[in-house]
Amino acid sequence: MNQPAGITVQWNGDESINTVRDLIEKHHSVTLLLPHEVHHALFFYLEPDNAAAHLPELVSERGNANLLKKVAKIRGFAGIADLIQPALDHEAIIDVVSPSPSIAFEFKH
């Protein structure tokens, strides 16, 4: 999936969560760039059938804010859960992709 045009925020824990939350509330398209080290965990949590079948480690998931619940299970990324309610409230469309891990938030304007 292509990353939407908009603002890019590099993962920096709570600081990046607060920035992304503010952008979601303003309906700005935003892509949160995650550390490369999170790729394998994203693959495990978002593509468990492919992981079990030893298929190539590609993640390309699109959905609503509930997709963030899976990402929030990854150690060190529990703060992602703080974006679930704002994303639901503002009907964000979520794209999670990896290897170059990122979470993109788009809106129907």
Select from 45, 34, 104, 38 the least CA-distant residue to 73.
45
- Identify the DSSP state of 47: -
Tens-digit pLDDT profile for residues 8-27: 999 998 899 999 999 999 99
N-terminal to C-terminal alpha carbon distance within the chain: 20
The pLDDT assigned to 27 comes to 93
| Residue pair 62/94 in contact by the 8 Å Cβ criterion | yes
Q: How confident is the model at residue 50 (pLDDT cuts 50, 70, 90)?
A: low
The pLDDT assigned to 58 comes to 72
Rounded to whole angstroms, how far apart are CA atoms 70 and 59?
13
Rounded to whole angstroms, how far apart are CA atoms 17 and 31?
11
Average pLDDT, the chain: 85
**What HEC string does 69-100 produce?**
HHHCCCCCCHHHHHHHHHHHHCCCEEEEEECC
- Number of CB atoms found within 10 A of residue 61's CB: 18
Tens-digit pLDDT profile for residues 68-106: 998 998 888 999 999 999 999 999 999 999 888 999 999
Look at residue 54 and tell me whether its pLDDT is greater than 70: no
